[in-house]
Structure 1
């Protein structure tokens, strides 16, 4: 048994507007089957996408705080010209420069129209085949501890681990990396951005949830009520959801 990341969940006051922004940013399409806005490759909604980790924007009544999100998206570029063009296009769409203490770096840090931080990376060979999302990045205190939990929680392959970083990617290749980066800050507010995981067809969701609890996950009440998914937190408190297979 194992789980796979299928989408990045972003909370927003205006889910439709934030969904449209991310669709334009990624060169994908925004689909609104209900109150949520799902952002995935063009050509009609496919869920789960067989390659990419997509974006799901859900409406909430609260504004984002000024605290930096502990989960963010890194966008891939293919050249310096592409990076500059993408940054300019994103700013025209409503992105704003963000200072998260990055200093003088070759990537550009921006925030979407509701303040969710993300990075536009300089060209890197490692991300040449990821699609528009190079990596989903999670701030953490102990990357090695994250490997012990997430390496068992999901079926992605561990590519590298040090005291400062742990890197996973789907065993199928293609799609983004999932990276845990050591940072000095600690979690102080609920996550505005989190991962959603999905069991494989034929696997039992409740058995998967029980397995995660045995690995150190804890139950989380975010006011979700009676829903078909389960809200959990990893050993460092990062929120995530286990979705029900459709």
Structure 2
């Protein structure tokens, strides 16, 4: 049946502070499943549900040293709304960022720990996504990434060309998943990564083997109840236990 993209995991030196920022930025609830982990999800959300890709903040002493290869784009409804969102996020501790984007209609910002994100321009055609319009992954080959992630998950391909590929849950709800061609090489472990979860009744080992047959690589991180793999371009992701 495939897997589902259920959450984004972000490393944070101060997970409580970064979690508080994103909870206010998105209007989501904040909770904790244990020491060093902050969970963010929409109010009244029943996990997992494709209407949202939730966020986990995990404590890590490692400093951020390079641009993240995974970021989120925030949705806006109008030019005035975009300005309101930018102003509100600035009050919460975000700052504008120059990553070489040039003169564009969207705003590039960083959160209190320097994690990049975009506040989209109001002309973006994606609608009804919730506050996160899309999850964006930098890559070298959008077509190859679309093939892998399309087969790896139950997400449907909406469009693809040499510069980008866009997928969305096959149910037509929630944010989009975009693979965007960039010239930047991958350096070290990704500080932000995707988490997939098999469906109830599926077997973790069987699904891990299927993903490897599609081009994923297994990563040995010791005895943990889930699997860590990397996609064909080396982006780490977690395959969680079926639920």
Q: Is the TM-score greater than 0.5?
A: yes
How far 1:188 sits from its partner (Å)? 1.3
How far 1:49 sits from its partner (Å)? 3.0
Please tell me whether the aligned partners of residues 51 and 129 of structure 2 are also in contact (alpha carbons under 8 angstroms). no
Q: Is the partner of 1:137 in helix, strand or coil?
A: strand
Supply the distance in 2 between the matched residues of 1:144 and 1:122 (Cα, whole angstroms): 25
Please tell me whether the aligned partners of residues 10 and 55 of structure 1 are also in contact (alpha carbons under 8 angstroms). yes
How far 1:126 sits from its partner (Å)? 2.4
Show structure 1 runs of 5+ residues with no match: none
Q: Does 1:63 align with 2:63?
A: yes
CA RMSD of aligned residues (A): 1.2
Q: What's the TM-score once normalised by structure 1's chain length? A: 0.95
How far 1:190 sits from its partner (Å)? 1.3
Supply the distance in 1 between the matched residues of 2:8 and 2:212 (Cα, whole angstroms): 21
Q: Is the partner of 1:167 in helix, strand or coil?
A: strand
Supply the distance in 2 between the matched residues of 1:46 and 1:13 (Cα, whole angstroms): 28
Q: Does 1:145 align with 2:144?
A: yes
Please tell me whether the aligned partners of residues 199 and 243 of structure 1 are also in contact (alpha carbons under 8 angstroms). yes
Q: Is the partner of 1:180 in helix, strand or coil?
A: strand
Which runs of structure 1 show a deviation greater than 3 angstroms over 4 or more consecutive aligned residues?
Answer: none
Q: Does 1:38 align with 2:39?
A: yes
Supply the distance in 1 between the matched residues of 2:204 and 2:30 (Cα, whole angstroms): 28
Please tell me whether the aligned partners of residues 16 and 32 of structure 1 are also in contact (alpha carbons under 8 angstroms). no
Q: What's the TM-score once normalised by structure 2's chain length? A: 0.96
- Deviations along 1:112-152, one digit per CA (max 9) or x if unpaired, are 11111000011135222101000000110001111221111
- Deviations along 1:165-202, one digit per CA (max 9) or x if unpaired, are 11100011121000001111110121011100000111
Paired residue total:
242
Q: Is the partner of 1:126 in helix, strand or coil?
A: coil
How far 1:50 sits from its partner (Å)? 4.3
State the match for 1:17 in structure 2: 17
Q: Is the partner of 2:202 in helix, strand or coil?
A: coil
Counterparts of 1:90-105 in structure 2, within 5 Å, are 90-105=89-104
State the match for 1:225 in structure 2: 222
Please tell me whether the aligned partners of residues 50 and 173 of structure 2 are also in contact (alpha carbons under 8 angstroms). no
Supply the distance in 2 between the matched residues of 1:59 and 1:25 (Cα, whole angstroms): 20
